[in-house]
Amino acid sequence: MHAKTTKRILLRVTFIVLTLGIVTLLSSRGDQSGLTTFVRQDETVRKRTLDVPCSKDYKKYQHFEGCTPRRCGRGVMDGLVTHEEAKQLQRIAKRGLALGGSNGGASILDLHSGALSKGDSFINLYELMKRSNHKIVFSEDDFSLYRKVKNRIRSAIAAEFGIEQDRLHLTHPTFFSRMTTKPAKTVHDEYWHPHIDKETYGSFDYTSLLYLSDYGSDFTGGRFVFVDKEANSTVEPRTGRVSFFTSGSENLHFVEKLASGTRFAITVSFSCDKKHAIDDPHIKS
Ligand SMILES: O=C(O)CCC(=O)C(=O)O
Ligand SMILES: [Fe+2]
């Protein structure tokens, strides 16, 4: 073969390889809107983590040695909670929420305090249960499932961040959420605003979310989005998926507005400060 022809072919091959490389790189980083996917709904991840630099805000907060994040980050685990456990928790959520429900698109049931969205405000489910002879909604088995799952999540967070698990205290609020496409009626329905959990909830140091329904089939929209400098990054909810992260401003986030369907999740969070510890939810007598 002619040296010139060989050179031309080599140049062409190099061009094709480079173009393919750039296309692959761009598509793996996200679409034109600057959105990348951290974990897709249709994949099963044992554990996927990402370190993110801790925000400077930690200087403002009291430091709890051996617990306050020194390393910040995010993680997603699919194997921690079984599909059946998540489905059972969804049934519990539905049972409780059936006694209330917001007029707008977001309803919560706080398992610890009993706060339940109803209309444009909240009622107390435990008060209601007390008045109507206790076990109308939850059984001891329901609470025991919640505790089991919460302890598993706590161990996973402790292992990931190199903390002794006894230093992580379950904190308020811990709640089931149900989101729909209904228009918001009060600010409590506006789940789509970017926020920092440490600022919104005060006591949170490590946030976890357990998803109880599937993005793409049970609902559309409703992806969890981390707001990052370069490109936002989504976690697509999947039944049984646990997503956890340090609660400071390094993990600013929001939930996209739902486009269709109903989305269920539980927020389970931990504080390093004993003062903010709450008991495991249990039947109040
Ligand atoms: O349900 C979610 O994916 C996130 C909810 C959330 O941001 C929160 O509870 O603070
Ligand atoms: Fe949040």
The string of pLDDT tens digits covering residues 66-78 is 999 999 999 999 9
pLDDT, one tens digit per residue, over 157-205 is 999 999 999 999 999 999 999 999 999 999 898 999 999 999 999 999 9
Q: Does the CB atom of residue 86 touch ligand 1 within 6 A?
A: no
pLDDT the model gives residue 24: 42
Our CA angle for 60, 161, 203, nearest 5°, is 40
What is the bridge-based pairing of β-strands 115-119 and 101-102? parallel
Average pLDDT (126-144) is 82
| CA-closest candidate to residue 208, choices 81, 100, 63, 30 | 81
Query: In terms of Cα–Cα distance, which of 65, 77, 78, 128 is closest to 100?
Result: 128
The proportion of the chain whose per-residue pLDDT surpasses 90, expressed as a percent, equals 79
pLDDT confidence bin for 223, thresholds 50/70/90:
very high
Q: Give per-residue pLDDT as tens, 231-255.
A: 999 999 999 999 999 999 999 999 9
Q: Whose CA is nearest to atom 8 of ligand 1?
A: 267
User: If pLDDT is split at 50, 70 and 90, which confidence band does 4 have?
Assistant: low
29 is known as an active-site residue: no
| Cβ 179 under 6 angstroms from ligand 1 | no
Distance CA 227, CA 255 (A): 11
Helix or strand or coil: residue 276? Answer: helix
Q: Is the pLDDT of residue 134 over 80?
A: no
Q: From the CB of 265, is ligand 1 less than 6 Å away?
A: yes
Among candidate residues 48, 59, 179, 188, the one with its CA nearest the CA of residue 120: 188
- What mean pLDDT is predicted for residues 13-38? 55
Residue nearest ligand 1's atom 7 by CA: 254
> In this structure, which ligand is nearest to the CA of 247?
2
Centre of ligand 1 from the C-alpha of residue 191, in Å: 8
Q: Which residues of 99-123 are buried (b: 16+ CB within 10 A; e: fewer)?
A: bbbbbbbbbbbbbbbbbbbbeeebe
Does the CB atom of residue 197 touch ligand 1 within 6 A? yes
Percentage of the chain surpassing pLDDT 70?
86
Per-residue pLDDT at 27: 42
* Cα of 267 from ligand 2 centre, angstroms: 8
232 CB under 6 A from ligand 1?
A: no
CA distance 186 to 196: 20
* Closest listed ligand to the CA of 173: 1
* Ligand 2 midpoint to CA 165 (Å): 22
Rounded distance from Cα 73 to ligand 2 centre (Å): 15
Instruction: Tell me the average pLDDT of the chain.
Output: 89
Residue whose tokens read 């996917």: 37
Distance CA 109, CA 210 (A): 14
Residue 67 CA to ligand 1 centre (angstroms)? 22
Is the separation of the CB atoms in 264 and 176 below 8 Å? Answer: yes
| Position with higher pLDDT, 1 vs 203 | 203
Cβ-based burial of 147 (10 A; exposed 0-12, middle 13-18, buried ≥19) = middle
Omega cis (within 30) before 173: yes
Residue nearest to atom 9 of ligand 1 (CA): 267
**Tokens found for residue 91:** 């049934």
Q: Which atom of ligand 1 is nearest to the CA of 253?
A: 7
Q: Is the pLDDT score of 23 beyond 60?
A: no
Decide if the complex's ipTM is over 0.85: yes
H-helix or E-strand spanning residue 10: helix 3-29
Q: Is pLDDT of 6 > 60?
A: no
Q: What is the pLDDT of residue 52?
A: 97
Angle between helices 83-97 and 140-161 (to 10 degrees): 130
